[in-house]
Chain A
Amino acid sequence: MKIKHLLAGGSLLALSTLPVAHAGATLDAVKAKGFVQCGVSTGLPGFSATNDKGQWTGLDVDVCRAVAAAVFGDASKVKYTPLTAKERFTALQSGEIDMLSRNTTWTLTRDTNLGLNFAGVNYYDGQGFMVHKSLGVKSATELDGAAVCIQAGTTTELNLADYFRSKGMKYTPITYDTSDETVKGFEAGRCDVLTSDQSQLYALRIKLKDPNSAVVLPEIISKEPLGPVVRNGDDDWLKVVRWALFAMINAEEMGVTSKNVDEVRKTTKDPGKQRLLGLSGIKGQGLQIRDDWAYQIIKQVGNYAEAFERNVGQGSPLKIARGINALWKDGGIQYAPPIR
């Protein structure tokens, strides 16, 4: 609570001392300095983490790279600022970073009180359950009377209480301080169920000695839409970030991938694809960036499916199923307005 007040108060203070930013300030500044300063998580498996070579990788990181590709035609023109959960909004408000792509849940309070704008959703997360396979449980509704391992002091705890109360079920909470301890508790058989954000459950599962001994249940009991964030009052920049994400989703929908994008660009007769790749239509004019911006994103970062599978999906150790993050036409809810 206190931190929230601090942040809210701090942001008010920040806004009151800021010079009035004219629209496009960030986009112009970014173009002038030649790179995007992007705030990412100090470490979250599949979303932002450093690989053995010291490069940042992950689904959140790919949003930064997509924006850089759109503005400069070079996805590597990003400088990363690793941020903790507490300092992420200040870093954005104070102008230390140009955009925040750090598994940040889009909520009313954050969208309104903090002077921020959410540009879109790059991952629909939600709290889920992981159980020992030996229990034979297929659904969260069969969890009456279960012992549940949770991390103390998180909203996860509150969501869990709400869920079990609404279903009229009983449970025994077993709380731990860190996620590592929670996994050890689960592994040692202190509890039947482990609950956390679903994207994290898959990462926790790998930490088990035998990852195949546990399964993640399909139910999701809370809404956690995660997406990139920019400062309020800078619409031009907001639109660049938003459409960089939309371009990736549209590319998946049209079946354009980093592998076939050159081929498609040469041969396509499809007006939709032509507009996407900057061959016709409004091109980069509306966003005030290069005409082939979407082509550059697809070529260098890939479409949404490629980014998803590479970082968190089947191509990664996490092996998260697309689930609700599938395209709307495949039964998910990822949907992007058309590029026309």
Chain B
Amino acid sequence: MSEGKTDYIPGQYPDLPPPITEVGVVGWLRQNLFSNWWNTGLTFLGLYLVYLIFVPLIQWAIIDADWVGDSREACTSGGACWVFIRVRLDQFLYGFYPVGEQWRVNMTGLLLAATIAWLTVPKIPGKRYAGLFALVIFPVIAYLLLSGGSFGLEPVETTLWGGLMLTLILALVGIVAAFPLGILLALGRRSKMPIVRALSVAFIELWRGVPLITVLFMSSVMLPLFLPEGVNFDKLLRALIGIVLFQSAYIAEVVRSGLQAIPKGQYEAADALGLSYWKKMGLIILPQALKLVIPGIVNTFNELFKDTTLVMIIGLLDLLAIIKAALEDPNWLGYSIEGYTFAGLVFWLFCFGMSRYSMAIERKLHTGHKR
């Protein structure tokens, strides 16, 4: 027993509190970061790397950054020039949507947020109507509001749509329309009817076999050549159809993986109850199958959200494309890092939101099948 330090034989005093080095913050640090000389070394190396990366980043993005002003002359400090983003923010959000009409986009956005809240917050009642509203009524309202031409609203052509608004439209329409189509295709692929099955397989394999960029390119470059002159259908609509068809093939395969994971007994039990095909699928199989494949579906949607940036190659100015276009303004040449950082942040926020939402649904629907 040395001076200033007390040693106890283990087990002799069971009532004593654990030693300070084993619990609390210190204990955690010792256990996880400094358990031996090797781990201690790694911890310091890690801290050093964090220091190397974050100090200049914060210096550039916050401390040295320029926030106020309205032209490049305001950017003198050598840090990030957020003035560029601020001045162009309206364009990044709305594209070329007329300034006087932007409230319509805001209204649609608010309505969308409210609908999502209605769907997600457990305390708000009427979920069944919320789903109906989100899938049927909301798209109609959104379309009427955004494109105008009725109820005294000035028509706004889709060529003027752009920025974040266009990105969200592409992603949401893609998700909402591709999902039911994908489920039908998945069911078709597992159908016992040979023609339905063959058609579903052919459709899925065709669309999975070509890159999205090719689909978009065809929709914008080849399709107009097959139409007589003067018959143009909207470029945005062409891109949307391409995206929906492409995405539905992927959803179909994800859903099919869920269908295959359902034990055969479930199918047989449903048959034994005398349920029709649609009742069997709608009441017994699909609810279980879809629950299983939530991570896969969200993954696909996440991908779709980011893939929308490909519409750039057909001259639709989505968020990333309009930032790129803004970078070509002679008055703002050379601020690409700010522009791309902003785009990255926005995309990350939306994708992160989606994955959090999917985790919440998974927890809510968790009924003990998790292994």
A residues near B (Cβ < 8 Å) are 6, 10-11, 13-14, 17-19, 21, 42-46, 49-52, 54, 79-84, 86-87, 90-91, 93-96, 180, 203, 206-208, 311-312, 316-318
Contact = CB atoms under 8 A, between A and B. Distances in A.
Nearest to A80: B159
B90 interface: yes
A180 B329 CA distance: 14
Contacts of B232: 94-96
A18 B222 contact: no
Given A10-B222, A45-B329, A80-B159, 13 more contacts: A18-B228, A42-B324, A42-B325, A45-B333, A54-B96, A81-B159, A84-B314, A94-B224, A95-B230, A207-B334, A311-B330, A312-B330, A317-B331
Given A43-B328, A207-B334, A316-B330, A87 B228 contact: no
B226 interface: yes
Contacts of B70: 52
A285 B360 CA distance: 71
B58 interface: no
B330 A87 contact: no
Smallest CB-CB A-B distances: 5 pairs: A43-B328, A94-B224, A43-B325, A207-B334, A206-B333
B330 A46 contact: yes
A42 B229 contact: no
Interface residues of B, number: 40
Contact of B225 (A43, A82, A93, A318): A93
A251 to B, nearest CB: 24
B324 A43 contact: yes
B313 interface: yes
Contact of A52 (B87, B226, B230): B87
A4 to B, nearest CB: 13
B46 interface: no
A79 B91 CA distance: 17
Contacts of A17: 225-226, 228
B321 interface: yes
A17 B224 CA distance: 11
A10 B330 contact: no
B325 A82 contact: yes
Contacts of A44: 328
Contacts of A312: 330
Interface string B285-312: 0000000000000000000000000001
A109 B76 CA distance: 48
Nearest to A83: B315
20 contacts: A6-B221, A17-B225, A18-B228, A19-B228, A19-B229, A43-B327, A45-B330, A49-B330, A50-B326, A52-B88, A52-B91, A79-B157, A81-B315, A84-B313, A87-B217, A90-B220, A90-B224, A91-B224, A206-B330, A208-B334
Contact of A180 (B159, B229, B336): B336
Given A49-B330, A90-B225, A94-B232, A82 B317 contact: yes
Contacts of A13: 225-226
Nearest to A9: B225
B330 A203 contact: yes
Given A79-B159, A94-B225, A87 B220 contact: yes
A207 B336 CA distance: 9
A44 B326 CA distance: 10
Contact of A50 (B91, B220, B222, B227): B91
Nearest to B334: A207
Interface in B228-266: 228-230, 232, 235
A86 B228 contact: no
A51 B224 contact: no
B308 to A, nearest CB: 16
B87 A49 contact: no
A206 B229 contact: no
A21 B228 CA distance: 12
A18 B333 contact: no
A206 B334 contact: yes
B315 A49 contact: no
A296 B312 CA distance: 35
B182 to A, nearest CB: 29
Contacts of B230: 95
A42 B225 contact: no
Nearest to A39: B315
Contacts of A94: 224-225, 227, 229, 232
A320 to B, nearest CB: 10
B40 to A, nearest CB: 37
Interface in B114-142: none
Contact of B315 (A87, A93, A206): A87
Contacts of B96: 50, 54
Contact of B221 (A43, A52, A82, A87): A87
A175 to B, nearest CB: 19
Contacts of A54: 90-91, 95-96, 99
A226 to B, nearest CB: 16
B221 A86 contact: yes
Contacts of A42: 312, 315, 317, 321, 324-325
Contact of A51 (B226, B314, B329): B329
A90 B95 CA distance: 24
Contacts of A93: 224-225
A51 B222 CA distance: 32
Contacts of B321: 42
Contacts of A87: 217, 220-221, 314-315
Given A50-B91, A86-B221, A87-B221, A45 B328 contact: yes
Nearest to B220: A87
B333 A207 contact: yes
A96 B328 contact: no
Contact of B331 (A51, A80, A208): A51
Given A13-B225, A14-B225, A94-B229, A86 B217 contact: yes
A54 B317 CA distance: 12
Interface string B69-99: 0100000000000000001101100011001
A139 B64 CA distance: 40
A84 B87 CA distance: 25
A86 B333 contact: no
